Structure 1
Amino acid sequence: MTFYDEVGGQPTFDAIVDGFYAQIPDDDILGPMYPPEDMAGARDRLAWFLAQYWGGPQTFSEQRGHPRLRMRHAHFHVNRDAAIRWLELMKNSLDQIPETTLDDTHRAAMWEHMERVAAMLINRPD
């Protein structure tokens, strides 16, 4: 059984991503990075990526190829403030997932991954 299966599969990842994207339109740092006409596409890509990373379907690779996160985010202005805000919004979303779905061990593993990704994507000085 994969991490993906242990936390409830796609519905859990959809809930995390939906909670995150619900905050984006009103966010002063991240909101401008997401064109309204591509919000649904961005949402799908993040859900596919997280599901795939944690052992779920390979939809991201099938639809988009190798994740290449740094390359795909290179044209966005991702400084330390943006990375911190991404983590804040993601934490808000994770906090909405009940512990019966995402226990402390799984939550900690997911958070550690999110911290690594946020740090890795910084591509501009402060």
Structure 2
Amino acid sequence: MTSLYTHAGGEEALRKVEEAFYAKVLADPVLKSLFPQRRPHHVDHLSWFTAESFGGPDRFTRELGFDHLIQVHRHLAITDEQRERFAELYLEAFEEAGLLDDEAFREAVRSHVEFGTRVAQQNSLAKTDAELHPLREVPRWTWERDSEPEKG
């Protein structure tokens, strides 16, 4: 079966979605405290993570490593409202790109962002390493999802 990465149109298509998404979060009053200013490499990092998670190249792992993701979320204290808004804007960016017409793909993207925002929120609230989510690698998303990603 075609990977989610290929179905989405590859790196270029995902980068366009992430650019649109990032513009949304930077302008959003609920997310302003989490995204106070544009960071030059944020779209690249988001694109690499999504591409790898959807079955594309492992550039995020090779160039940044999963610990980078844990560290950028530590101590952000992401609220439920912020987590839900992030997920809403993420899906909106995919919708606006015309990528959510396929119901199975829509469900995969939805479950991907729901899982990811829950991991980020847990890590953002962790006071100790033991309270961090146990995930230590980029999750691999497929067409049929349940609550947990595949390993490597």
Q: TM-score range by the shorter chain?
A: 0.7 to 0.9
Residue 83 of structure 2 corresponds to 83
Distance 1:70 1:92, change over 3 A: same
Q: Highest relative contact order (Cα 8 Å, sep 6+), 1 or 2?
A: 1
CA distance in 2, matches of 1:45, 1:105: 25
> Structure 1, residues 7-26: CA drift from partner, whole Å, max 9, x if none?
21112211221121111222
Residue 52 (structure 1) aligned with residue 38 (structure 2): no
Q: Which runs of 5+ in 2 are unaligned?
A: 126-152
Q: State whether residues 61 and 67 of structure 1, in contact with CA within 8 Å, keep that contact through their aligned partners in structure 2.
A: no
Residue 6 (structure 1) aligned with residue 1 (structure 2): no
Residue 20 of structure 1 corresponds to 21
Superposition pairs of residues 1-126 of structure 1, within 5 angstroms: 1-38=2-39, 40-66=40-66, 69-99=69-99, 103-122=102-121, 123-124=124-125
Distance 1:37 1:94, change over 3 A: closer
Give the count of matched residue pairs: 122
Q: Which has the higher helix share?
A: 1
Q: State whether residues 5 and 54 of structure 2, in contact with CA within 8 Å, keep that contact through their aligned partners in structure 1.
A: yes
Distance 1:18 1:108, change over 3 A: same
Distance 1:13 1:67, change over 3 A: farther
CA distance in 1, matches of 2:26, 2:58: 28
Q: Which runs of 5+ in 1 are unaligned?
A: none
Q: TM-score, normalised by structure 2?
A: 0.69
Q: Which amino acid aligns with 1:83?
A: R
CA distance in 2, matches of 1:119, 1:107: 18
**Aligned-pair Cα RMSD in Å:** 2.1
Secondary structure (helix, strand or coil) at the match of 1:32 reads coil
